[in-house]
Amino acid sequence: MRVAFVLLMLLLVRPALAQEIQQVEIRPDFGVYTVSKWKRDWPGCQYEDGVREGHLSIVKFNGAAAYRVDYVVGEIGPEKGGVGWRSPIQPSEVVELNYKVQFSKDFDWVKGGKLPGLCGGPKSVTGGNRANGTNGFSARLMWRANGRGEAYIYHMNQPGKYGESFPFPSDVHFQRGKSVLVRLRVGMNTPGHANGTLDVWIGDPATRKFRHVVNRTDMEWRATREILVDSLRFETFYGGSNKSWAPRRPSFTLLSDISMQSIDSKQRSDK
């Protein structure tokens, strides 16, 4: 896997716009993903969870390399039960994260767990560390019981200590053994105003058709313009705060086709 920065001109339905793309290329270096390989492929990260413990490997999936995350039976959190790290990207006002995920055919949903997302700010605003407008924010996805999905968000106006859930429509579920495309977009607010954006689309890899499952235009991510979307929060694990969230049988996910791009603010609602 190499992280490559390139500038592309994208010819879409509208006139072309220059967008900076960060693509995560997963090298076909199959087998357990060691810490030395992780350091080589993910420069600039200050920590890793779960890689040293052997929870991550590179496998062949649909003819290409993919990450396989094996969750530990009876464990929660990224270090003991999954993987996690924060990877810096070019700070931007609006960033879109794309990836493909597939849950194993006998995946144990239990109460739920985390999937990769975006974050920003000087602190790690997760795990009950509330967002205050100057320390940062985080926007991840979660699976829930029976494959329900949601955006799980730490933001200035969250009602409790832990992140706020923004559920997908009731007829949208993750399915065992079936790949889905995830598109998560976060747009910063004007400081002092709740006009930031949060959007999630779920797509079919075969048809490339997406459904808009979360659409918010009232988010307050920050109190100062210094806070931007500045990192990929690559993490997935069960939990939850206690072991009632832990898997009861071996389960894994496959993750691939990971990319991020900065979006012109005029395109915030273009899909």
Structure tokens at 210: 């997406």
In a domain, 235, yes or no: yes
Structure tokens at 131: 């967002």
Q: Do residues 201 and 167 make contact, with C-beta atoms less than 8 angstroms apart?
A: no
Cα–Cα nearest to 22, from 86, 88, 85: 88
In a domain, 150, yes or no: yes
List the domain range (segments joined by +) for residue 246. Answer: 22-262
In a domain, 234, yes or no: yes
pTM for this one?
0.91
Count CA atoms within 13 Å of residue 86 on its CB side: 18
For residue 215, give every residue at least 6 positions away whose Cβ sits within 8 Å of its Cβ, in sequence order, or none: 198, 199
Q: Do residues 68 and 29 make contact, with C-beta atoms less than 8 angstroms apart?
A: no
Domain count, the chain: 1
pLDDT in tens for each of the 271 residues of the chain?
444 433 333 333 333 343 766 899 999 999 999 999 999 999 999 999 999 999 999 999 999 999 999 999 999 999 999 999 999 999 999 999 999 999 999 999 999 999 999 999 999 999 999 999 999 999 999 999 999 999 999 999 999 999 999 999 999 999 999 999 999 999 999 999 999 999 999 999 999 999 999 999 999 999 999 999 999 999 999 999 999 999 999 999 999 999 999 997 655 444 4
In a domain, 162, yes or no: yes
In a domain, 170, yes or no: yes
The CATH code of the domain that includes 47 is: 2.60.120.200
Cα–Cα nearest to 54, from 75, 25, 79: 79
